[in-house]
Every structure is written in structure tokens, then in C-alpha cells.
A and B are shown apart, each in its own frame.
Chain A
């Protein structure tokens, strides 16, 4: 019996490790690629630590524009979905019991309907309305922001509704009745009694709605029109050629997520600690006493460490210059490349010698150059533009000359871009 439970424990531990590797491994690896210098995102082989991809990201106008659109759409989606979700939940609690199940099915259905279908139906419907009203083709009903907000709110309101239903289950209707008995109007009773009770749910529904809107792709891809959101821009980038600046963005999002999760957890634990110690919640959540939050709260310590590391990395990035290290790698690569070329040439010479021994063959002379070139192309294992076959060919003729000495490191990232390299190589 005892060995049996031990076996289960080992199995469980192994499973947990595997599971969380699957869950977090991709994110960790993607984050690593943001700091590696090759222009195709890869974690291995590791070359040089670099921060340039963050610069590339910052200067990408389409990404910045996408973020702006995402925020605009997210803002309106949150407002619309929270209002509709709240109304839906309130109606659900008091609707005629016979149609309650039907009503619930209808307002929960948007979660289950494929996002693609929601996007298409929104697009088609408002297009029809546009035709029916006889509006021109570029009327406000074809505005990408409006359509996206409407399409996304259709299902995000269902998420919000679920949050509100969960909260309303704990609401005592007697409170509203008491307020009405004391002479409050219905609106007053709602605003002063029920709304404050629902405030935390409104907060979490808003966060949920914003996140859902921000990351939605399936619906938005049909409705965005002239206003691509961040997700749309990312999808286009990922589909047609990728570079590590996307990893850099992913890294930033991962960090923000971890940060928010930690802050949330710290607050939760503080409140729990306070309740455990018998203190009123307000006493702990209002005042901010620095030393106290660390007391018995390991998450707070982790959070503080996290922030400290972030500050350290950012300040390090200010004066860190990857160019010298990059130059060394470049040199190593070239040396390896040259060795390979020399070896190839030697082999070719040997072959030619052997063939010459067998007898001169004029036709092969010409042909033999073709495989040589092709072989060289295949042998470049680096996806980066620096060593694209064209560059290689320019360098190759001067195979005897040593690799050009790296220029003195400069703070400008462009010194070592491929075009400069071409200018340098022939001179030496």
C-alpha cells in the first residue's frame, strides 16, 4: 500500500512538471528569442544578448497604430458589454420562470457560436441594414470600429453576464425592498443599494471584457475594415515573415501579465491575512504600510523582486552595447565560413585532379561550378541577412584575405547591417 502511494506521488510529480513545462515553456522560449540577435526568432543557438528588437518594435508604426485602435475598440466594447451583460443578468433573475431557460440559452449562445460566424453575421447584417436604409457604401455602418465593437460585444456581454449572475446570486432582494419601503425611488434603490453591491463584479467584468476584446481575432478579422487592431497586425506579421520584435512584444505582455497577477495576489493575501487576524478589511486595504505587506506574504516579496529585476534590466539596457560581442560572433562565423569554403575548394580541386587523371573533360569544367555554388548556399545555416548567399559570394573571392577587422563599436545599431558590410568587404 505504501509503495503504491509513493508511486502515485512520483507519477503525479512527473505529470505536474510535464504539464507546466507544456504550459509555460513556450512563453519562456519566446521571451528568450526577444533577446537573441539572429533576425529569425530562435532560442538556439544563442548568439548575443541584444535589446535592439525592442527598438524595432517601438519604431514599428503599424504596431503602435494597432495598439491605439485596440484601446479605442476595447474601451467602447467594455462599456457596451458591461451594460448589456448587467441588464441581461438582472432580467434573468426576475424573468418569467417558463421562458427563463430559453432566455438563458439565447444569451449564453454567443459564447458557443464560433467567432468566425459572429463576425460574418455582424458584417452581413449591417451591410443589409445599410442597403435597406439606402445609405452610401462608405457610411458609418461600414466603419470598422463600430462593426468590431458590435461584433465583439455580442459574445463579450455573455461573459459579463456570467460574472454578474454569480454575484447576484448572493444579493439579498430584501435590501432593495427595504430601500423602497423607506421611500427611495426604483432608480435610487438601484443606484444606491444594488450598484455598490455589484461594484466589484463590474470591475472584474470590465477587466475580463477588455482582455477578451484586446485579444480577439476571429470576429475582428471580418469586421475591422480600415482599423486593424493589434491582434490583426500581429497575425499579419506572423503569417508573412516574422522577426524577434514580435517576441519582444510578447515578452512585454508576459511581464505585464505576471506583474498584474502578482499585484492581484498580493492584495488578495493581504485581505485574507487581515480577515484571519480579525481586522476589518478596510483597515488593511486603505492604509499603505510598506513593511507590513511583506510580513508573512511571500508573494509580495516576489513582486518586489520582480520590479527590482525589471528596473535593473532596463537601466542595464541603457548603456549595454551588444556591438563588440556581435562583431566577435560575426568574425567567428566568417572564420567558420571560410574554413568551409577552403575545404570545399580543396575537395573540388582534388576531384578535378582525379578527373584530369582519367582524361580531360571540357564539358565538366563548366558544370562543376554550378554544384559548387549550390553547395555553398545550402551550407549557410544562418537565416540572418548578414550571411545571405549574395554577401557570401562577394566575400568569397578574397578568401585569402583575413576577415575585415570589426569597426570600433558605436552606439548606432546600423553599423553592422548587411549593406554596410558590403561596402567594407571589397576595400580590405
Chain B
């Protein structure tokens, strides 16, 4: 069966094209996707050794990098590595919060665009949506830092109006971070939803309205169930990207609050303990995959819907 398939493949593409396709895809899948991930997992079970000792007698597998994440360094009085675990939990919660924020913010506009007739107004909106997405991620975060700074526009405005006397530290309160993260992934939330809602037959909504369904009921019973693949696809992407974000927390995060990716970054660039960093990265990857698969199972959507 397998051999037959390969023969068929070469018959369809010719020998030259066939080999080209196999080499290109093989390089991508094996050398760029699978092997690096395996080697990262492999590395995360090793000791942090100087290069000459790699492959030597000390180069054995160990669980200590993972133990460190859970229990902390040896002789830790707390019993658990509270700092890192707290950051990990906070990152996931904050990512979930950003996802929900984006969903609430984007659903109305996705519905509006999807159900509009595609006139000049809707096209203008799409254009306006895309423009911020083309601006560099760092610059977007920078813009939020200008706005939320001590002498930023929001503080100045609030003080002029007289609501507050002293500037609010939005950065320390993490408001700047949530606003910046939510902003960064708006488009990734809107487009999957928009694509699905666009294909919804408007007659269904008309029929429901004629039969006396209220505005809320129409959305709850017709639009949202229909748009489920788009909603979950958008949520998945926003959640993964905000949990894995690095630039926005570095620029907008408060001094006392870290993002889990920042800890990974520190292991690599400041402490130069690669196996430890790899272990943290592996934990992040596996947790995100589990959460996403769980949510997909919960809402009954499959992988094929993602990226549409």
C-alpha cells in the first residue's frame, strides 16, 4: 500500500518534481520541525555542562531541571518553587484573560463585517484593521508605553479633568500589558470569526427575527453555534501567542511581575543554563498544547479548522 502510494506519487509528479517535493517537505518537517523539538526535549533532561564535557561520563540524563521548576533549588525551605510556579500560573491566567478580552472586543465587529454587504464602509474597516497589524510588534508596545506612562496621554487627561491628582502607575498595575497584548492579537481573533460568519446565510437570521426571537437569542442560538469553529480557532491563536509573548511583557510588564517566557529568556541569555531553559520551554509548550487540545475537545472542533 505504502509502496504503491510512492509509485503513484512519482508517476503523478515526475521523477524530478517528485524528488524536489520530497526533499523540500522532508527538510521542513524533519530538519526544521521535528528534530529541533526532539533535541530540545532531549537537552532538557541533561546536565548543564561546559562544551568539552559533553558526551563525557557526566553527560547523563537527569530529571533535575524539571525538579527545579517544581521544588526549587536543593535545600529550598518552602518545599515548592513558589516564585516560578506562581509566574507560570499567572502567565496562563493572564493569557486566558487577554483571550477573553479580545473575544468580547472582536465578536461584534466580526459579526458586523461578516453580515454587512461588503460596501465601501466595510472595506475601509478591513483596511483599518490590517494597518496596525503591519506595524512592528515592538513599536506597538512602545506606543502603549507612551500612552500609559507617568506623563502619558491618559494620565495627563485624567489629571486635567481632575479625576486623579497623582499619575496612576498603569505599568505596575499591568493594565498597560493587558491593553498591549490584547491590541497585538486583535486581527488574529477577528479574521477567523469573520470568515465563518460571512458564510452564514442571512435568511436564517431573518427567519429567527420574523419568528420573534430577541436580539440576544439570535446570537446565542444561531450565530454563535455557527461561528464556533472561527471562535475557537481565534481563541486558540490568541491564547498561544499571548502565553508565548516575549516582547510585550519585556516592554510593558511591571517591574515586579514576570512573564514565564521572560524567565526562559533569562535562563538562556543571563544565567546561560540552556538545559534549564529548555526544560522550562518544554513545560510551556506541553502545557499550551494540552490546554488547546482540551478546549478543542470541549467545543468539539478539530485541527483542520485552525488557520482557515
A residues whose Cβ falls under 8 Å from a Cβ of B: 4, 8, 12, 15-16, 19-20, 22-27, 29-30, 33, 40-45, 83-84, 86-88, 90-91, 94, 96, 101, 104-118, 120-125, 127-128, 131, 137, 150, 153-154, 157-158, 162, 185-187, 190, 211, 214-215, 217-218, 221-222, 230-231, 234-235, 238-239, 242, 246-247, 249-250, 253-254, 257-258, 261, 265, 298, 381, 383
Contacts and interface: CB of A to CB of B under 8 A. Distances in A.
A257 B33 CA distance: 32
B144 interface: yes
Contacts of B285: 113-114, 117
B295 interface: no
A252 to B, nearest CB: 10
Interface of B: 2, 5, 9, 12-18, 20-21, 24-25, 27-29, 32-37, 39-40, 43, 51, 54-55, 105, 108-109, 112, 120, 123, 125, 127-132, 134-147, 149, 151-153, 156-157, 183, 186, 215, 236-237, 240-241, 243-247, 250-251, 261, 264-265, 268, 274, 277-278, 281-282, 284-285, 288-289, 292, 303-304, 306-307
Contacts of B34: 106
A221 B152 contact: no
Given A29-B153, A113-B285, A215 B137 contact: yes
A127 B278 CA distance: 13
B51 A137 contact: yes
Contacts of B37: 113, 117, 121
A257 B134 contact: yes
A150 B109 contact: no
Given A101-B304, A116-B261, A87 B25 contact: yes
B277 A22 contact: no
Given A42-B151, A217-B246, A238-B251, A94 B12 contact: yes
B29 A107 contact: yes
Among B9, B134, B147, max chain A CB count under 10 A is at B134
30 contacts: A15-B108, A20-B128, A25-B147, A30-B146, A42-B146, A87-B24, A87-B28, A91-B21, A94-B9, A111-B307, A114-B261, A117-B284, A117-B285, A120-B264, A120-B268, A120-B277, A121-B39, A124-B36, A125-B35, A125-B36, A150-B32, A186-B14, A187-B16, A190-B14, A215-B135, A217-B247, A234-B138, A250-B136, A253-B134, A381-B151
Q: Lowest 7 A-B CB distances belong to which pairs?
A: A186-B14, A114-B244, A87-B24, A121-B36, A26-B143, A125-B36, A121-B40
Contacts of B156: 44-45
B51 A131 contact: yes
Among B13, B25, B132, B134, max chain A CB count under 10 A is at B25
A107 B245 CA distance: 21
Contacts of B24: 83-84, 86-88
A231 B140 CA distance: 12
A371 B136 CA distance: 45
Contacts of B33: 106-107, 109-110, 154
A140 B74 CA distance: 39
Contacts of A86: 24
B27 A84 contact: yes
Given A94-B12, A131-B51, A108 B142 contact: no
Given A26-B143, A120-B281, 4 more contacts: A107-B33, A110-B33, A124-B36, A217-B246
Nearest to B54: A131
B66 to A, nearest CB: 16
A126 to B, nearest CB: 8
A120 B40 contact: yes
B40 A87 contact: no
A428 to B, nearest CB: 31
A238 B143 CA distance: 10
Nearest to B23: A87
Contact of A242 (B145, B157, B247, B289): B145
Contacts of B128: 20, 23-24
A231 B147 contact: no
Nearest to B131: A257
B108 A190 contact: no
A96 B139 contact: no
Contacts of A44: 151, 153, 156-157
Contacts of B157: 44
